[in-house]
Each structure stands twice: as structure tokens, then as C-alpha cells.
Amino acid sequence: MSTPGQRSVAARTHPAGSSATPSLGTSLTAPINTSGQAAAHSGKPITVRSTPIRVIRALSRALIYLLLLGGSVIYAIPFIFMVRWSFMSTSQVHDPDLFWPMPMAWENYTYVWGSTFLGWWIFNSSLVTFIGVTVGTFVSCVVAYGFARLDFPGNRVLFIVLLATMMLPLHVTIIPFVIIMRELGWLDTLWPLIVPGLGGGAFYIFILRQFFMTIPIELDEAARTDGASRVGILFRVILPLSKPAIATVAALSFIGNWNDFFLPLIVLNSPQQVTLAVGLRYFGGGQLVEAQHTYQMALAMISVMPIIVIFFFAQRQFVRGITLTGIKG
């Protein structure tokens, strides 16, 4: 029984004598004052939701989380086994009932460091990656700014040609590339790995160009009114607002340069000159006996640790840059 100061919304909406009745399973009651108007709920309209709809949404959300959790576990299994094997001794590898090695064999890492050119491999990979990330990202920003903001003849044609280069893989051009490097005398040096990355990359330019186009052009016009040049607009307006996209490009460039295997394998020959990715192959020597598996897993752990650290600190900017890129094209 309702009180005189409170009636149902259905009673106010459908006067007496009307055949309309509220559907089952819906919540339509709300406090109504004596003047016949519904009481305010923080200035927001009353949302009427059916109970079955809420249940369906909760179940669908739980199913999505379950699928994501299952996919994460599947992708994490190889990494867990790599960590596990890197701390195992030879005797522990043969124990089928042992899940985690106790005590852990830290000597695997000391053996890898002392029996290989690991220090040189890390230095070579770090040098190539540092130059590729810094110079390549900066050049990609400048080129993307030109495509996004400068209206010159052939802008779209050149951009399409740039994107077309992504369809031509390195494996197709590797023979003329090696011939050019041989004529320059750069084989078995780091120059073939450093120089091509100085011009940025088509994919990185595409990501930055799409992000720059989401920035309102009115900001450029306001800066130009204050006397800023094109270079000033780039460094004072565009780049400070594009930190998520720049972080995304830098992270992708770091991963690509650090994990590059095919090109260093072709142009580098001396064990001391190779990068860390190729050093994994040199360490195995093509003869994979069980005693060497633990050492290879230790070396693999050393190679992936910088990527894990970079992604851990740049995860928020990386995800944000991927989400916002391509909103406007």
C-alpha cells in the first residue's frame, strides 16, 4: 500500500482507467512529492533497467574476463618454462616430478657470461637500438609532421608511395642490399644495422601522422598568430601533445631493433660483432644437447629482460597511443 506522499511512476504516467500496466521484472517506483512531480535524483534522469538485462551483461562480462585470463595463461606458459629451465641444473632437468628448481642454479648465468662474448653482444645490440630509437623516432616525427600539416603538391601521392614500401619485405631486397654494403666495405660491421634506421620507418611515420591529424589545426593557427614558425609549432605544440604516440613508436622501435635477427645474421660474421639475438644461435652451435638447454634459457632470459622492463614502464603510454592512433585519417 503506497503512502499519500509517494506514488509509482506508472500511476502518474498512466492515469486511472488506462489499460497500460508496467512489465514484469522492471523497477519503476520512485518517490513523488505531493505536487505530482518526481523527486530529483541529483539532477540525473531515472534509469529503468530490466533484471534479466543486468544478468546477461554480468555474464557476458564474466565470459570476456574468463577468455582473457585463459589467453594470458596460454601465452605465459612458454615464458614460465623458460624461467624455470634457466634456473635448473642438468640433474634437475631429468626429474619429471620437479616443477620449480630448489635450490636454483644461478651458475647458469655466470657460465653464460664467462664462456661467451655476452658483453660485446649486449653492447652491439644496445648501440644499434639506442641510435635506431632516438634518431629514427625523431626523423619519423619530422616526416609525419610534414605529411600531416604541410599542404604541398603530391602530399598524398608520396604518402601512398611510402605506405607501399611496407608491402616489400626485406627478404626481397636483401641481395642488392648486401651487394651495396659489400661495395661500401660495411660487411661485418654495425653500419648496415644503423644507417637504414636513421630514416625512420614507414609504419612509424604512419602511426605518428595519424595521431598528428587528431590534434586540432586551430592550435597551429594560434601559435602562428603568436609568431611561431613551423619548427616552433612542431616542438612546442605538436610533440608535447603527442607523447603517447611517440612512446608507442619508441617502444616498437626498441623491440624491433633489439630482436632483429635476419639482417644481423646476413651481414655479420665474426662472433664478437654479432648482436644478442644472433648470439643465441652462436651459443647453441647447432648442437642442442640437453646439458646446453639450461644455458640457452639463461641467455634467452638475459635477452628478454630489457624488453620486459621497457614495456613495464611504457605500458600506459603504449596502450594509449595505440588506442588514439587512427581516429582521424
Which grid cell sits at 85? Answer: 629451465
State the DSSP code for 165: G
pLDDT at res. 183: 94
Non-local (6+) Cβ contacts of 314 within 8 A are 247, 250, 251
25-29, 61-65, 87-91, 268-272: the lowest-pLDDT one: 25-29
pLDDT band at 151; cut points 50, 70, 90: confident
Residue-wise pLDDT tens digits, 305-326? 998 888 777 777 666 655 555 4
Q: Is 251 helix (H, G, I), strand (E, B) or coil?
A: helix
State the CB neighbour count (10 A cutoff) for residue 294: 24
Residue 13 has pLDDT above 60, yes or no: no
Q: What average pLDDT does the segment 266-282 reach? A: 88
**Total count of domains within the chain:** 2
State the CB neighbour count (10 A cutoff) for residue 264: 21
Q: How far, in whole angstroms, is CA 29 from its chain's centroid?
A: 48
Q: Is the peptide bond before 103 cis (omega within 30 degrees of 0)?
A: yes
Q: How far, in whole angstroms, is CA 210 from its chain's centroid?
A: 16
Within a domain: 268: yes
Q: What is the mean pLDDT of the chain?
A: 80
- What are the DSSP E strand ranges found in the chain? none
Q: What are phi and psi of 194, to 5 degrees?
A: -90, -50
pLDDT band at 64; cut points 50, 70, 90: very high
Which grid cell sits at 13? Answer: 504516467
Q: Are residues 127 and 198 in the same domain?
A: yes
Residue 221 has pLDDT above 70, yes or no: yes
Q: Which residues of 137-147 are buried (b: 16+ CB within 10 A; e: fewer)?
A: bebbbebbbbb
Q: Are residues 219 and 314 in the same domain?
A: yes
Within a domain: 225: yes
Non-local (6+) Cβ contacts of 5 within 8 A are 32, 33, 34
Q: Are residues 121 and 242 in the same domain?
A: yes
CA distances to 144, 171, 275, 313 from 182, in Å: 32, 17, 19, 40
pTM score of the predicted model: 0.74
Residue 284 has pLDDT above 50, yes or no: yes
Q: What average pLDDT does the segment 239-263 reach? A: 91
Q: Is 177 helix (H, G, I), strand (E, B) or coil?
A: helix
Residue-wise pLDDT tens digits, 71-109? 999 989 988 888 988 888 877 877 777 778 888 888 889
Q: Are residues 223 and 250 in the same domain?
A: yes
Percent of the chain with pLDDT over 70: 79
Four-point Cα dihedral 132, 133, 136, 137, nearest 10: 170
Q: Are residues 141 and 285 in the same domain?
A: yes
Q: What average pLDDT does the segment 239-259 reach? A: 90
Q: Are residues 177 and 209 in the same domain?
A: yes
The last residue of a domain, from among 105, 136, 165: 105
Please name every residue paired with 41 in a beta bridge, in sequence order, or none if there are none.
44
User: What's 130's domain CATH number?
Assistant: 1.10.3720.10
Q: Are residues 275 and 132 in the same domain?
A: yes
Q: What are phi and psi of 120, to 5 degrees?
A: -70, -40
Q: Which residue type occupies 109?
A: Y
Which grid cell sits at 305? Answer: 629482460
pLDDT at res. 146: 93
Q: Are residues 124 and 144 in the same domain?
A: yes
Q: Are residues 92 and 144 in the same domain?
A: no
Residue 266 has pLDDT above 70, yes or no: yes
Please name every residue paired with 38 in a beta bridge, in sequence order, or none if there are none.
32
Q: Are residues 73 and 141 in the same domain?
A: no
What residue numbers bound the domain in which 81 lies?
Answer: 65-105
Residue 145 has pLDDT above 60, yes or no: yes
pLDDT at res. 139: 95
Q: Are residues 222 and 146 in the same domain?
A: yes
47-51, 142-146, 219-223, 310-314: the lowest-pLDDT one: 47-51
pLDDT band at 22; cut points 50, 70, 90: very low
Q: Are residues 130 and 239 in the same domain?
A: yes
